[in-house]
Amino acid sequence: MKSPEASAGLSDGAGIAAVAAATANAYSDTDALDRYLVDGLRPAIAVRPATVEELAAVLRAAATADLAVVLQGGRTATGLGAPPTRYDVALDTSALDAVIDHVPDDFTITVQSGMRFAALQTFLADHGQFVPLDVPFPDKATVGGSVAAARSGPRRGVFGGPRDWLIGCGVVLSHGTTVHSGGRVVKNVSGYDLCKLFSGSLGTLGCIVEATFKLRPLPAADATLVIPTADFDAAIDLGRRIALGVNGLQSIIALDPVSAHDLGLGEVGLVLRAAGVEGAVSSTLQLAGAIAQADSAIQPEPTAPDFWQRLTDREGTPPRGNAVLVRCAAPPDSLRSATAALRAATDQTCLWAYADAGLLFGRLAAPTSALLPAMVATARKGIEALGGSLVVEHAPVTEKRAMDVWGPAGDGITIMRRIKREFDPNATLSPGRFVGGI
Amino acid sequence: MTGMATPTPFVRDLQEALGRDAVIWAPEDLLVYEYDGTFDRGAPEAVAFPASTAEVAAAIKIANAYELPITPRGAGTGLSGGALAVRGGLLLSLNRMRRILDIDPNNRTALVEPGVVNLDLSVAADPYGLAYMPDPSSQRACTIGGNVAENAGGPHCLAYGATTNHVLGLELVTPDGTVQWLGGTNRERPGYDLVGCVVGSEGTVGVVTKIQVKLMPKPEAVRTLLAIFDSMRQASSAVSGVIKAGIVPAALEMIDQQTIAAVEPVLHTGFPLDAEAVLIIEVDGPVSQVQAEDAIVQEIVQSFEPREIRVASELPERERLWAGRKGAISCLGHIQPNYYILDGVVPRTQLPAVLDEVAQIAARYDVQVANVFHAGDGNLHPCLLFDDRVPGMSERVLDAGGEIMRLCVDAGGAITGEHGVGLEKRSYLPWIFTEDDIDAFARLKAAFASSDTFNPCKVFPSGHGCGETSSAHAQKVIQQFGADAYV
């Protein structure tokens, strides 16, 4: 295994010193830096600015010295993206964790980006509100990181992603300028919508420092129904029929035997979630149950109280051994074929799917790690033939360097490269980490 | 006679590429294309009606060769001057591209051309039990392409989101004439969210020639309430009450007395003429949910002491209420010959105070004001009613409009909720954005367009590729109410 290396060997010591001088919280001892490894690379310095001004000063100093900066929040999604081509400065946003503005009756909130996602939800729960996004490991994950990595979860089919809830943002660009987009109102078309641009940009265009979300009321009732099925394919088929036949469900999850076992369920099957006003939730699940009855007698199984969070966490959990974690999107009615495509690439799979949204996750293992890149390529080819896409969320570092974790970005890549040049002309932010080598 | 004029080389090139009947250039024919729903106007040199993506690209390349400005146009129902060819050049009308190319009921998507009328898509999806949710009041005329440009909203975007939440993929002809597919049939495509960048960019980064949209199942049950109030303040407080209780109605609209007076004699909706304001509150979804939410909403609204709450659960009654709401603006012409519709947005808790202020401003300028708007979103549409034959009246209306916009900004809001910045409000952009913010917008635009000739003078304040031409009234308002950024 490759040992961590500092990639800043040739970089300017004076530049590092300037970055260190920009904030009171700078670390350069090996122990501290080992906490900021990205794909096995160790930075020359790590900073945890206490204010937005400090953060801007850090970025300005780094840009001046042409040092590469990798932005980090709770480090729960650092497996996503290609290894950075350069990595001098780890910029940790987690000290910026204040609630800036919350008018409960407006159903909006503005927070600093380093706030932990769970802290945000806990704060809002006291007011009967929430941001309808599920993120893996919310105790660690930050708001900014979750937006930058476009995290959401099992309710994605209904609630979409961060781009659908972020109504305003403040972002420090690579040369240290702070810019804003949107505002604090729930409907707004004033100016270009840079919230969309920065959502999912994985820290390659600027550092999100402030985020405003529109909120939803916490539902009065929230219930789960587990329906055992003969196998994973049957779970997907049933899930699709329920998706088309029943309105009002928030999640329709198909689990293969390994996934079901991991999540504490006895059998392979389908897990449904409904939430809302009291009477509606039970009748929605009853309707779904009635569709399932035709297949098998339902024996509802209890789920652990943290079932949904554990399911969400799987989206961000590195697989053990010679394996990768992939996230595939395909037209929902082709999920069965998508499953077949992954199975054609390897016979060691652990799969689960969001049947309403057309999302399929897979831990795909190979006999040796050297076979992983070819396995991913085969799987991707199969998914793309269905009009879908496959992203590698986690892979062993060495093999990651030998594969394209993103796959093709399509026609838009030319404009994406131009956007990168416009916003980060010297490629100081997470160089090489995004699609097409951006 | 102008008809005897000969086409310019630019027009001849267009005719050759698109066909003679696909190009308008005689001045008398161009007249109708000088206007949209706003005060301003702009005369193009030619209007082209491409029938395909290839023809759009060809027309753009021809205009580029002559270094002429290009302005895309949908139905021309926009209310911020976005479709005006203010610098002349080519006006690109997308109205001939009006095919619904695909409806996929299993995956709940549709692929359409930009000229498809908003309502026609929902009508086509109806046999599958599906609908296209964004429903601007102009949905019988406005097109999906224009909706994409403006990120159009509508009454039901309170629960379902605006256009940007419903567009999955786009075919875009860029300002240099290249054709690209952005996004796809889902949101998981790797890379920057270019679709999210294009939607709402007001036709300034290219021409959208195909649109992949999400369709949603039509709700199983719908119930529409009409709450009648003797006080505007009580009505707007009830709006805050519903929002704060955590109910997300499908729609929550307010109509004031002035508007009722215009609507009733024409549409016979059943709005009482002596009410100060009415609220239309709609809940939809599964039957059991609608029953439960309807009861909660009625209880909340009741606590704000309405004169009466009427319940419409049958389709004809609901349609009558919505005809009154969506047809309201066009009825205002019966009160005064002209109206100027504003589009501000404020935090919802600010509604009662802001509505009071709007009334005071209108009184101060001695201008009649009618309010009909998306109360649940905090999206105001004060309509200033006037007769432009009265000397000095137009100026007064524009000044009052500017002051109302400033009021929205001061209340923590924004200068447009759904109509766009366009030509009309670009001078107000510095009220809510700093120079650095606007520079970031310019960087995004530059990534799509390398020249300034594509849809000039829209969104960006003067100086961003549009030289001096800020309209006189906007200049005056800026002088009066300040040009400082509110950030």
Contacts of B70 (CB under 8 A, 6+ apart): B59, B60, B63, B64, B89, B90, B92, B175, B453, B454, B455
Burial A328-351 (b: 16+ CB within 10 A, else e): bbbbbbbbbebbebbbebbebbbb
Q: Yes or no: say if B262 and B332 are a contact pair by the CB < 8 Å rule.
A: yes
Residue ranges, chain A, pLDDT below 50: 1-10
**Quick one: closest CA in B to A422, which residue?**
B443
- For residue B200, which residues of chain A lie inside 8 Å, CB to CB? 189, 192-193
Across the interface, whether the CB atoms of A359 and B194 are under 8 A apart is answered no
Copy the structure tokens of residue B57: 């690209």
- For residue B245, which residues of chain A lie inside 8 Å, CB to CB? 217
Across the interface, whether the CB atoms of A185 and B346 are under 8 A apart is answered yes
Q: Is A183 on the interface with B (CB under 8 A)?
A: yes
Name the minimum distance, in Å, from the CA of B190 to any CA of chain A: 6
CA dihedral B252, B257, B258, B261 (to 10 degrees): 110
Q: What is the DSSP string of A334-376?
A: GHHHHHHHHHHH-SEEEEEEETTTTEEEEEEE-SSGGGHHHHH
The predicted-structure confidence for B368-425, as pLDDT tens digits, reads as follows 999 999 999 999 999 999 998 999 998 999 999 999 999 999 999 999 999 999 998 9
Q: Is A184 on the interface with B (CB under 8 A)?
A: yes
Across the interface, whether the CB atoms of A196 and B188 are under 8 A apart is answered no
Q: How far apart are CA B342 and CA B371, in angstroms?
A: 10
Cα distance between the two ends of chain A: 27
A3 secondary structure, DSSP code: P
Most A CBs within 10 Å, among B109, B130, B164, B189, to test the A interface:
B189
Per DSSP (E only), the strands in B318-460 are 338-341, 344-345, 368-373, 379-380, 382-386
Candidates A276, A411, A422; nearest CB to B443: A422
Q: Yes or no: say if A222 and A319 are a contact pair by the CB < 8 Å rule.
A: no
Rg (CA), chain B: 23
The predicted-structure confidence for A419-433, as pLDDT tens digits, reads as follows 999 999 999 999 999
Name the minimum distance, in Å, from the CA of B459 to any CA of chain A: 7
**Is pLDDT of B469 > 90?**
no
- For residue A200, which residues of chain B lie inside 8 Å, CB to CB? 192-193
Contacts of B390 (CB under 8 A, 6+ apart): none
**Quick one: closest CA in B to A101, which residue?**
B412
- For residue A149, which residues of chain B lie inside 8 Å, CB to CB? none
**pTM > 0.90: yes or no:** yes
Name the minimum distance, in Å, from the CA of B193 to any CA of chain A: 6
The predicted-structure confidence for B146-166, as pLDDT tens digits, reads as follows 999 999 999 999 999 999 999
Q: What's the burial of A34, exposed, middle or buried (CB within 10 Å: 0-12/13-18/19+)?
A: exposed
Q: What rounded mean pLDDT belongs to chain A?
A: 94
**Is pLDDT of B474 > 70?**
no
Across the interface, whether the CB atoms of A412 and B194 are under 8 A apart is answered yes
Residue listed under structure tokens 């109280």? A305
Name the minimum distance, in Å, from the CA of B68 to any CA of chain A: 23
- For residue B219, which residues of chain A lie inside 8 Å, CB to CB? 247
Give the three-state DSSP class for B438.
helix
**Quick one: closest CA in A to B195, which residue?**
A196
pLDDT at A41: 97
pLDDT at B487: 31
Closest to B76 measured CA to CA, from B155, B162, B150: B150
The predicted-structure confidence for B325-366, as pLDDT tens digits, reads as follows 988 988 988 889 988 999 999 999 999 999 999 999 999 999
Name the minimum distance, in Å, from the CA of B244 to any CA of chain A: 5
Across the interface, whether the CB atoms of A103 and B434 are under 8 A apart is answered no
Name the minimum distance, in Å, from the CA of A347 to any CA of chain B: 25
Strand order of the sheet with strand B382-386?
B308-312, B221-229, B277-285, B251-256, B368-373, B382-386, B338-341
Beta bridge partners of A252: A272
Q: How far apart are CA B243 and CA B75, in angstroms?
A: 34
Candidates B183, B436, B445; nearest CB to A178: B436
pLDDT at B478: 52
CA geometry: angle at B138 spanning B134 and B139, to 5°?
45
At residue B481 the predicted structure's pLDDT band, cuts being 50, 70 and 90, is low
pLDDT at B40: 78
Q: Yes or no: say if B197 and B168 are a contact pair by the CB < 8 Å rule.
A: no
Q: Yes or no: say if B234 and B288 are a contact pair by the CB < 8 Å rule.
A: no
Name the minimum distance, in Å, from the CA of A202 to any CA of chain B: 9
Counting every residue written for chain A, the total comes to 438
Q: Yes or no: say if B273 and B260 are a contact pair by the CB < 8 Å rule.
A: yes
Half-sphere exposure for A74 (CA within 13 Å, toward CB): 27
Q: What's the burial of B386, exposed, middle or buried (CB within 10 Å: 0-12/13-18/19+)?
A: buried
**Quick one: closest CA in A to B165, which residue?**
A164
Q: Is A279 on the interface with B (CB under 8 A)?
A: yes
- Beta strand A108-112 with A99-103 is antiparallel
Q: How far apart are CA A166 and CA A18, in angstroms?
A: 34
- For residue B287, which residues of chain A lie inside 8 Å, CB to CB? 283
The predicted-structure confidence for B413-448, as pLDDT tens digits, reads as follows 999 999 999 998 999 999 999 999 999 999 999 999
Name the minimum distance, in Å, from the CA of B271 to any CA of chain A: 27
Candidates A276, A280, A389; nearest CB to B189: A389
pLDDT at B125: 98
Q: Residue B354: left if φ>0, alpha if ψ -120 to 50, beta else—which one?
A: alpha
Task: Tell which A residues from 35 to 64 touch B, by Cβ distance under 8 Å.
Answer: none
Across the interface, whether the CB atoms of B192 and A276 are under 8 A apart is answered no
**Is pLDDT of B133 > 60?**
yes
Candidates A277, A389, A435; nearest CB to B293: A277
Chain A to chain B Cβ contacts (< 8 Å) = 255
Give φ, ψ of A413 to 5 degrees.
-60, -35
pLDDT at A358: 96
Across the interface, whether the CB atoms of A181 and B437 are under 8 A apart is answered yes
- For residue B298, which residues of chain A lie inside 8 Å, CB to CB? none
Contacts of B213 (CB under 8 A, 6+ apart): B109, B110, B111, B112, B121, B132, B144, B166, B167, B168
Q: Yes or no: say if B289 and B223 are a contact pair by the CB < 8 Å rule.
A: no
Q: Is A128 on the interface with B (CB under 8 A)?
A: yes
ipTM of the complex: 0.95
Name the minimum distance, in Å, from the CA of B485 to any CA of chain A: 12
pLDDT at B486: 36
pLDDT at A433: 98
Contacts of A7 (CB under 8 A, 6+ apart): A41, A42, A43, A44, A68, A84, A86, A87, A88
**Which CA distances in Å does B331 have to B268, B327, B427?**
11, 7, 30
Candidates A190, A327, A415; nearest CB to B414: A190
